[in-house]
């Protein structure tokens, strides 16, 4: 049995993988499967996102985007990964005190921090 996993790369990441994979005789998929290709940006921003969500004023809805002052400067792939990973983290109940709160009129996921 095999399972397909979709990964979103930034243009910069994809360009790098297109160059590096052939150098060692791998397809792009095999390269991505074996080697980390991102820097620390996602990790640092994800940590920041979790901290901001848990310290957000209780009962006040927020979006992932609203917690970043530089949202427009973040690459699209990173934004998508932040949103997707945060949503699943919250849905699994792994971020204490943060719950999904429906969607806004623009169909963007809302969250709320509740004191525990």
The pTM score is: 0.74
On the question of pLDDT at 7 being above 90, the answer is: no
Taking only the tens place, the pLDDT of each residue in 39-65 is 688 889 999 999 999 999 999 999 999
Phi first, then psi, for residue 78 (nearest 5°) are -65, -40
What CATH number belongs to 41-113?
1.10.10
User: In which residue ranges of the chain is CATH 1.10.10 found?
Assistant: 41-113
User: Are 97 and 116 a contacting pair, CB within 8 Å?
Assistant: yes
| Average pLDDT of the residues of the chain | 91
């Amino acid at each position: 049995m095999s399972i397909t996993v979709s990964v979103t790369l930034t243009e910069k990441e994809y360009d790098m993988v297109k160059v590096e994979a052939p150098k060692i005789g791998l397809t792009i998929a095999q390269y991505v499967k074996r080697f980390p290709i991102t820097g620390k940006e996602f990790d640092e921003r994800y940590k920041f996102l979790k901290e901001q969500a848990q310290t957000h004023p209780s009962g006040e809805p927020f979006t992932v985007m609203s917690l970043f002052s530089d949202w427009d400067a973040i690459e699209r792939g990173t934004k998508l990964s932040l949103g997707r990973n945060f949503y699943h983290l919250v849905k699994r109940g792994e971020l204490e005190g943060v719950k999904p709160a429906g969607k806004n009129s623009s169909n963007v996921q809302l969250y709320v921090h509740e004191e525990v």
